[in-house]
């Protein structure tokens, strides 16, 4: 992003009567809402949530902020060292600015949501499109009311495609994000149990996911998992061109066969049976993510051999079924960014199929936002845990106690370990002492359990 203060003010309808021409023509080179990460020449966005971003304006100025948004109700402590653009609500102004910039750059927009797989699919779509176009994609998990505007404002002026991930944890959220981005293509990867605490049923999750279609223009396209009856049913009420992917032959794009390896997965697609597709990830479930990405590539006429080439080397966001090597030489399967029952079972089943001369060790943490069904859903993971294949299990978190109780009859006490959520340090010590060079250890939990700290410690 590169705009003048005057252009920004006009976009968000901020009053500049007291600004001289020199200030109005001053260049701004980006935006930042974290004063610790501000860079020279950026616009500071002081958001108000648990902490009030206005309290950190001195840090932003010291970091090189060129200007700041400023809420009207904070006018009693207006900063004097940099221009302040007065607005009613800094978040709404931030979103308004992103909408203006999106219209200015005018890329084609691909919006992706789903209970599982949206980040991996986003990375795959971006890789395929980058073979031919200038692409900007969502960084990390910037996928909500703050993250989507931030992603938009990260675009360079030559961006031709914006691949934006959209998350949700309540009804209406995707409606807002879709209408903000007005995607040319909206994609739903699948419907699972993520956030079921807030929705109650998968039906209601599907209703909320369908909101991604609300901002798609009449000439846009809706792409979705055709194997999911909840989506097929709701798609009948969507008056848009549609494209489906999945495993069933009724889909437009489907896998004719697949072979899951330890570090990669091979498959074929009905449209081009002679082309070998190979993704650098374990887990047959990731084939569906690739089929979704291939559907997008097909829409924009990327050659299938080019898609195969790009998928074979695409850049995966870290901590998604990522193989690493620990300090003892043990193999680590890190999938600690998030978790829900469907995803956890898929990773466990893929982990059980790996080849190893040592032990398979599973480290599982709480899956959050499952509501009143949480304990039962945690206990259900026992279906994917076989003591003959997974030798040792480490569990951490309040609701993982339900899985611990389910596994106690089939595991020897020395091979089944349970920790409270505040005992992460003890888990690390015990796990480090237990590991041998030939072992494989898999880690999966919601991000709130911070198993990434376990991964970091094992790799030191």
Taking a C-beta distance cutoff of 8 angstroms, is the pair 422, 413 a contact? no
Quick one: 182 and 124 in the same domain? yes
What are the tokens at 127? 């890789």
Confidence grade of residue 193 (pLDDT, cut at 50, 70, 90)? confident
pLDDT tens-digit series, residues 172-185: 999 999 999 999 99
Q: Which domain holds residue 57?
A: 3-88
Taking a C-beta distance cutoff of 8 angstroms, is the pair 356, 440 a contact? yes
* Residue 197 clears pLDDT 80, i.e. is over it: no
Annotated binding site for ATP: 114-120
Q: Where are the alpha helices (DSSP H) in 312-396?
A: 341-352, 374-379
Please give the Cα distance from 2 to 157 (Å, whole number): 8
Quick one: 284 and 357 in the same domain? no
Quick one: 138 and 189 in the same domain? yes
Quick one: 124 and 81 in the same domain? no
pLDDT tens-digit series, residues 251-275: 999 999 999 988 899 999 999 999 9
Who's near 252: CB < 8 A, 6+ residues apart?
226, 243, 244, 245, 295
Please give the Cα distance from 234 to 281 (Å, whole number): 31
Annotated binding site: 114-120
Instruction: Confirm whether 97 is domain-assigned.
Output: no
Quick one: 295 and 173 in the same domain? yes
Quick one: 289 and 200 in the same domain? yes
- Return the CATH number at 387: 3.90.190.20
To the question of pTM greater than 0.85 for the whole model, the response is yes
pLDDT score recorded for residue 365: 98
User: How many CB atoms lie under 10 A from the CB of residue 407?
Assistant: 20
* Residue 119 clears pLDDT 90, i.e. is over it: yes
User: How many CB atoms lie under 10 A from the CB of residue 1?
Assistant: 20
The number of domains in the chain is 3
């Amino acid at each position: 992003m590169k705009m003048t203060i005057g252009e920004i003010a006009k976009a968000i309808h901020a009053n500049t009567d007291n600004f001289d021409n020199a200030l109005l023509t001053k260049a701004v080179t980006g935006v930042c809402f974290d004063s610790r990460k501000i860079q020279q020449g950026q616009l500071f966005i002081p958001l108000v949530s648990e902490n009030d971003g206005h309290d950190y304006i001195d840090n932003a100025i010291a970091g090189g902020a060129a200007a700041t948004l400023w809420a009207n109700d904070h006018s009693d402590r207006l900063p004097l060292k940099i221009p302040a653009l007065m607005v009613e609500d800094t978040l709404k102004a931030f979103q308004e600015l992103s909408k203006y910039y999106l219209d200015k750059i005018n890329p084609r927009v691909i919006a992706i949501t789903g209970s599982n797989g949206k980040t991996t699919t986003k990375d795959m779509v971006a890789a395929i499109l980058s073979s031919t176009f200038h692409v900007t994609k969502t960084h990390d998990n910037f996928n909500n009311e703050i993250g989507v505007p931030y992603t938009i404002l990260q675009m360079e002026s030559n961006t031709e495609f914006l691949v934006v991930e959209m998350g949700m944890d309540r009804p209406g959220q995707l409606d807002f994000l879709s209408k903000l981005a007005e995607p040319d293509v909206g994609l739903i990867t699948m419907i699972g149990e993520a956030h079921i605490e807030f929705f109650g049923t998968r039906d209601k999750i599907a209703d909320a996911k369908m909101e991604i279609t609300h901002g798609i223009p009449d000439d846009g396209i809706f792409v979705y998992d055709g194997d999911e009856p909840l989506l097929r049913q709701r798609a009948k009420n969507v008056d848009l061109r549609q494209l489906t992917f999945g495993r069933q032959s009724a889909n437009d794009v489907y896998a004719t066969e697949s072979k899951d390896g330890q570090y990669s997965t091979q498959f074929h697609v009905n449209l081009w049976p002679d082309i070998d597709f190979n993704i650098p990830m374990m887990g047959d479930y990731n084939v569906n993510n690739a089929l979704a990405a291939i559907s997008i590539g097909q829409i924009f006429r990327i050659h299938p051999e080019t898609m195969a080439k790009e998928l074979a080397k695409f850049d995966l966001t870290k901590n998604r079924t990522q193989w690493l090597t620990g300090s003892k030489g043990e193999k680590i399967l890190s999938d600690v960014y998030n978790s829900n029952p469907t995803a956890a079972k898929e990773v466990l089943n893929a982990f059980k199929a790996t080849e190893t001369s040592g032990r398979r060790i599973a480290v599982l943490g709480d899956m959050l936002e499952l509501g009143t069904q949480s304990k039962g859903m945690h206990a259900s993971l026992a279906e994917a845990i076989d003591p003959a294949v997974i030798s040792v299990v480490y569990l951490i978190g309040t609701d993982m106690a339900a899985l611990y109780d389910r596994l106690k009859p089939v595991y020897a006490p020395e091979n089944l370990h349970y920790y409270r959520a505040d005992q992460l340090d003890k888990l690390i010590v015990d796990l480090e002492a237990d590991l041998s060079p030939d072992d494989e250890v898999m880690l999966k939990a919601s991000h709130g359990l911070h198993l990434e700290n376990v991964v970091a410690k094992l790799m030191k």
